[in-house]
Amino acid sequence: MRLSRYFLPLLKETPKEAEIISHQLMLRAGMIKQQGAGSYTWLPLGLKVLNKLTRIIEEEQNRSGAIQLLMPTLQSADLWRESGRYDAYGKEMLRIKDRHERDLLYGPTNEEMITDVFRTYVKSYKDLPLNLYHIQWKFRDEVRPRFGTMRSREFLMKDAYSFDLDEKSAVDAYHRMFVAYLRTFYRMGLTAIPMRADTGPIGGNLSHEFIILAETGESQVFCHRDILDKPIPPLETDFRADLTPIFEDWTSLYAATEDMVDAAAYEAAVPEDKRVSARGIEVGHIFYFGTKYSKPMGASVTGADGKETDVHMGSYGIGPSRLVAGIIEAFHDENGIAWPVSVAPFEAVVINLKVGDAGSDAAAERLYADFLGEGIDALYDDRDQGAGGKFAAADLIGVPYQVIVGPRGLKDGTVEIKHRQSGERETLSIEEAVGRVKSLIVPNRRDSL
Ligand code: P5A
């Protein structure tokens, strides 16, 4: 992408309405624009990050055996009357009437609708297990939408729903998604800690939130420090492998949110020097709720014995639009965002310090073309303006590697590489630059676990 032709509306001043750093930086870096309370336009740079996250999520969902579909945002109130949640959900649900005075709602989640899809088509135990997911906008009329896309009213969610014949196999599906989540957040550069959590309006009694630690997190969390260093389980090739031992290993160390913590149990389970009590951001949440929806909605299958059984269900959410903000909370400094490679809007930026100078233009153009040729997602700052503004922009938007091209270096055939996260700089020959940057990027894409 040539910056001169891109749409990147950067702000010089920090907008006053933004209380936390990720919200400030997303506005300043031209990633989002507020449209109303808890409602945002995703500008091109923000959308690029959002798309990188959803791509990682899709890859890991597909690997775990889940199958993607797409359900509408508007739902019929009648479906929710069947489950009993239409009245129970309360004010967070946005209720709408169409021209025929029919009651609709903007979906805050999709348990009812997926159960309706399931009951229409699936009649036999032979079609189980089944896990269906989509990535779709949701609306929740939050009491306090705040912190930008961290807690918005309209937000993106990946929601998956599992269907199994019995509790044992449903819990296996839960374990499978648990491991898929560990891998998903790791690939985004994050350390996400699974913690026992409250189930709220979704229901059931088995539930984990995936939490990233950050001072601006909305809830207090308690866990054993060793969870933070646990290695991520490798990809199993058979998606029906039993992942219970991995689940048990991870959950044997104490970790709970403030709603679930039992102070005495926490202190008994975790030695004093291993106790982590910190603020956390919930980036994912998984639930097992048995037949809560299948029973009232008639989602049953014929078992091997010819008997009808209500299917056992779970649901599994990730918030990609919240994650964009969460990742920035984890990766920033005083100059701006410092993205991990795997989720960066661009992997490298070529900064031409002297646009109009024939040598600089030729070298920068060639580097940019070579990056694209090598499959690197590169940005080219070809704007005719001063070096200071270009450095500041590159630091603000957080591209992991900057390749700085100017007449001074080119005199001896060199360019400079700046590593955004560490600040480290290297001077090397123009011929070596693309290969060197590629060798830094590829392992950090984390796409070959
Ligand atoms: C699980 C999938 C559910 O709704 N039903 C379908 C279950 N879970 S949840 O925890 O309520 O939401 C799942 C994830 O969505 C994100 N999220 C939000 N992101 C931004 N703004 C919000 N207001 C918001 N509310 C929820 C979170 O990442 C949450 O884990």
Token representation of residue 213 = 């630690």
Number of neighbouring beta carbons within 10 Å of residue 414: 18
Cα angle: 85, vertex 86, 90; to 5 degrees: 90
CB 319 within 8 A of CB 346: no
Q: Which parts of 130-200 fold into alpha helices (H)?
A: 167-187
Q: Whose CA is nearest to atom 2 of ligand 1?
A: 317
Residues 140-162 have a mean pLDDT of 96
Instruction: For ligand 1, atom 18, name the residue with the nearest CA.
Output: 319
Residues 140-149: tens digit of each pLDDT = 999 989 999 9
Phi-psi region at 90: left, alpha or beta (left = phi > 0; alpha = psi -120 to 50)? left
Give the pLDDT of residue 241: 81
Residue 89 contacts residue 83 (beta carbons within 8 Å): no
Tell me which of 131, 151, 285 to substitute to probe ligand 1's pocket, judged by most ligand atoms within 8 Å of the beta carbon: 285
Average pLDDT, integer, range 342-355: 98
Task: Tell me which of 204 and 109 has the higher pLDDT.
Answer: 109
Average pLDDT rounded to a whole number, residues 291-295: 98
pLDDT band at 235 (very low <50, low <70, confident <90, very high): confident
Q: 343 and 188 in contact (C-beta within 8 Å)?
A: yes
Contact 297, 86 (CB under 8 A): no
Closest CA to 117 of 80, 71, 76: 71
User: Does 50 have pLDDT greater than 70?
Assistant: yes
Q: Give the binding-site residues of ligand 1, using a 6 Å CB cut-off.
A: 109, 140, 142, 151-152, 155, 157, 159, 202, 282-285, 287, 315-319, 321-322
Nearest to 188 by CA among 320, 63, 280, 56: 56
The residue among 324, 92, 18, 88 whose CA lies nearest residue 189 is 324
CA dihedral 70, 75, 78, 81 (to 10 degrees): 90
Structure tokens at 444: 């950090």
Answer yes or no: is pLDDT of 448 > 90: no
Taking the CA of residue 153 as reference, the ligand 1 atom at the shortest distance is 23
Ligand 1 center to 439 CA (angstroms): 37
Report the atom number in ligand 1 closest to the C-alpha of 151.
21
pLDDT number for residue 237? 65
288 to each of 162, 292, 296, 407, how far by Cα in Å? 9, 10, 17, 62
Lowest mean pLDDT segment, chosen from 241-255, 386-400, 401-415: 241-255
pLDDT confidence band for 230 (50 / 70 / 90): very high
The protein residue whose alpha carbon is closest to atom 26 in ligand 1 is 319
pLDDT band at 240 (very low <50, low <70, confident <90, very high): confident
In whole numbers, what is the pLDDT of the chain averaged over residues? Answer: 96
- Kindly give the number of the ligand 1 atom that is closest to the alpha carbon of 201: 11
For residue 239, what pLDDT band results from cuts at 50, 70 and 90? low
**pTM (2 decimals)?**
0.97
* Cα of 92 from ligand 1 centre, angstroms: 13
- 100 alpha carbon to ligand 1 midpoint, in Å? 31
> What tens digit of pLDDT does each residue of 404-418 get?
999 999 999 999 999
Confidence of residue 330 (pLDDT cuts 50, 70, 90): very high
Closest Cα to atom 17, ligand 1: which residue? 319
- 446, exposed or middle or buried, with CB in 10 Å at 0-12, 13-18, 19+? middle
| Ligand 1: residue whose CA is nearest its atom 16 | 319
- Residue 70 binned pLDDT confidence (cut-offs 50, 70, 90): very high
CA dist., res. 297 & res. 107, Å (int):
18
Provide, rounded to the nearest whole percent, the portion of the chain with pLDDT above 70: 99
Nearest Cα residue to 337 out of 351, 349, 327: 327
- Cα(339)–Cα(207) distance, integer angstroms: 30
| Nearest residue by C-alpha to atom 24 in ligand 1 | 151
- Predicted confidence (pLDDT) at residue 49 exceeds the cutoff of 70: yes
The Å distance, Cα 83 to ligand 1 centre, comes to: 20
- Cα separation, 176 vs 245, whole angstroms: 11
